[in-house]
């Protein structure tokens, strides 16, 4: 028998969900049409009706650690059919945004990513940082050479040498001559490490909460999570995600699957490009730029074009679909992804057109976009990819289909 649940309404949480795009939540009169209409909801205890009542009562604990909110793919089928205009798909999206903020640390940064007034800081801080790094790279090469020699003494067979990344590329436009590859890596590698730690801590709390809710609701009798089985479930879920099978079950916004897939595969392609370029630089002693016919260049260009087109279609769909709420958080991440892809392509085009300083300027904007994407990953809408993957894995692990 499940434990007694004592309702503790949280008015602040209701206001938060409303502010994140769920302002219609109080319109729900619990007819359950949405749960019947949802093509994804499991038969046992389907969403989103139960989440709508929990949201309108401000039952934060019931929602934040509820894996079902992440199984929803915001297709909008339920919103289309809701007789009260309560837009359950948008309410669940707002609850997911609140959950990302709740699990993220530090909270101040999570709130800043949700606050349009803080946007100048989110852009301005990396803008100033990369401008300083560009100034040093372009004006203090000799000083940096001495510092590197003093620190590393030409370690790793001469690879830990300041000028290493620039050898042979002084007379062509190479972005390492604008912001040193060392500086780029010294910025992004620690950032990636910090983001990974923040994310892992958040995911640990998230998994504990999903599991505790499942225990409370009598969906499992296991007192603790079997992480080995959860990881196995994760690998079983990967093909579903790659094929976007859940998206394809939707009707109202079925067309969302294609641009979503384009963006996902672009990131996979760009990840491969970054990994190969990093290995070629540090292990193969090859700094680039790569010739146009090199397969890595092909992959980078195709992924860049797909990223621009995919995110561009997503922006257009949001602008066209007046019935679907698009919160600031959605615009922030869509804008960052689109600018990231566009500046990546324009940087390359300006370089090929021998517009050196135009290329450097666009590359500077590109670095700012990369920083905004990665440094704020656990706090931005992008985090939903990871939370959804974990929630889908937990549902698979718990046989909730």
Contact between 31 and ligand SF4 (CB under 6 A)? yes
The answer to whether 14 and 55 have CB atoms below 8 angstroms apart is yes
Of 2, 83, 95, nearest to 56 by C-alpha is 95
Of 301, 304, 388, 386, nearest to 342 by C-alpha is 304
Interface pick for ligand SF4 out of 10, 19, 26, 32 (rule CB under 6 A): 32
CA distance 45 to 89: 17
The residue assigned the tokens 């016919």 is 293
Q: Minimum Å distance from CB 387 to ligand SF4?
A: 15
Instruction: Determine the interface stretch with ligand SF4 among 37-45, 104-112, 219-227, 307-315 (rule: CB under 6 A).
Output: 37-45
Q: Minimum Å distance from CB 35 to ligand SF4?
A: 7
Contact between 40 and ligand SF4 (CB under 6 A)? yes
Q: Minimum Å distance from CB 248 to ligand SF4?
A: 12
Residue 78 or residue 362: which is nearer to ligand SF4 going by CB? 78
CB atoms within 10 A of CB 123: 16
Interface pick for ligand SF4 out of 17, 52, 333, 375 (rule CB under 6 A): 52
Instruction: Determine the interface stretch with ligand SF4 among 38-46, 148-156, 285-293, 381-389 (rule: CB under 6 A).
Output: 38-46
Q: Minimum Å distance from CB 253 to ligand SF4?
A: 8
Residue 20 or residue 82: which is nearer to ligand SF4 going by CB? 82
Residues 88-117 that bind ligand SF4 (CB under 6 A): 88-89, 92
CA distance 17 to 97: 8
Residues 64-83 that bind ligand SF4 (CB under 6 A): 72-78, 82
Interface pick for ligand SF4 out of 28, 176, 334, 382 (rule CB under 6 A): 28
Question: In this structure, what DSSP letter does residue 360 have?
Answer: H
Residue 330 or residue 348: which is nearer to ligand SF4 going by CB? 330
Of 384, 393, 389, nearest to 98 by C-alpha is 384
Residue 22 or residue 88: which is nearer to ligand SF4 going by CB? 88
Residues 223-282 that bind ligand SF4 (CB under 6 A): 250
* DSSP code per residue over 297-357: HHHHHHHHHHHHHHHHHHHHHHHH-TTS---HHHHHHHHHHHHHHHHHHHHHHHHHTT-HH
Contact between 17 and ligand SF4 (CB under 6 A)? no
Q: Exposed/middle/buried for 223, CB within 10 Å: 0-12, 13-18, 19+?
A: exposed
Helices (H), 57-118: 60-64, 68-71, 77-81, 88-103, 107-113
Q: Minimum Å distance from CB 250 to ligand SF4?
A: 6
CA distance 293 to 285: 20
Binding residues for ligand SF4, rule: CB under 6 A, are 28-34, 37-38, 40-41, 47-49, 52, 72-78, 82, 84, 86, 88-89, 92, 250
């Amino acid at each position: 028998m499940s434990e007694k649940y004592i309702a503790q309404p949280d008015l602040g949480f209701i206001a938060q969900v409303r502010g994140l795009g769920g302002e219609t939540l109080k319109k729900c009169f619990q007819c359950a049409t949405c749960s019947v209409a949802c093509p994804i909801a499991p038969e046992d205890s389907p969403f989103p009706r139960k989440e709508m009542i929990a949201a309108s009562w401000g039952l934060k604990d019931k929602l934040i650690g509820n894996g079902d909110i992440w199984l929803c793919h915001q297709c909008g089928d339920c919103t289309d059919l809701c007789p009260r205009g309560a837009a359950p798909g948008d309410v669940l999206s707002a609850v997911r945004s609140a959950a990302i903020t709740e699990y993220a640390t530090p909270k101040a940064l999570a709130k800043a990513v949700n606050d349009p007034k803080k946007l100048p800081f989110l852009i301005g801080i990396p803008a100033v940082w990369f401008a300083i790094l560009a100034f040093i790279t372009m004006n203090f090469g000799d000083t940096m050479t001495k510092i590197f020699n003093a620190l590393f003494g030409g370690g790793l067979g001469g690879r830990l040498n300041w000028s290493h990344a620039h050898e042979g590329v002084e007379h062509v436009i190479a972005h390492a001559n604008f912001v040193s590859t060392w500086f780029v890596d010294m910025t992004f590698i620690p950032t990636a490490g910090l983001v990974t730690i923040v994310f892992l801590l958040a995911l640990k709390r998230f998994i504990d909460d999903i599991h505790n809710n499942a225990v409370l609701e009598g969906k499992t009798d296991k007192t603790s999570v079997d992480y080995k089985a959860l990881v196995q479930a994760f690998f079983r879920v990967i093909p579903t995600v790659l094929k976007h099978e859940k998206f394809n079950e939707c009707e109202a916004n079925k067309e969302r699957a294609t641009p979503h897939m384009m963006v996902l595969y672009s990131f996979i392609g760009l990840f491969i490009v970054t990994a190969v370029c990093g290995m070629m630089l540090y292990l193969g002693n090859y700094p680039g730029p790569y010739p146009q016919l090199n397969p890595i260049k092909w992959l980078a260009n195709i992924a860049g074009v797909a990223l621009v087109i995919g995110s561009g279609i997503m922006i257009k769909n949001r602008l066209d679909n007046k019935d679907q709420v698009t919160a600031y958080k959605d615009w922030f991440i869509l804008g960052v992804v689109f600018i990231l892809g566009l500046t990546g392509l324009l940087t390359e085009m300006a370089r090929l057109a021998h517009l050196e300083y135009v290329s450097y300027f666009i590359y500077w904007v590109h670095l700012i976009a990369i920083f905004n994407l990665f440094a704020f990953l656990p706090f931005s809408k992008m985090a939903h990819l990871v939370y959804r993957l974990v929630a889908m894995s937990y549902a698979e692990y718990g046989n909730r289909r």
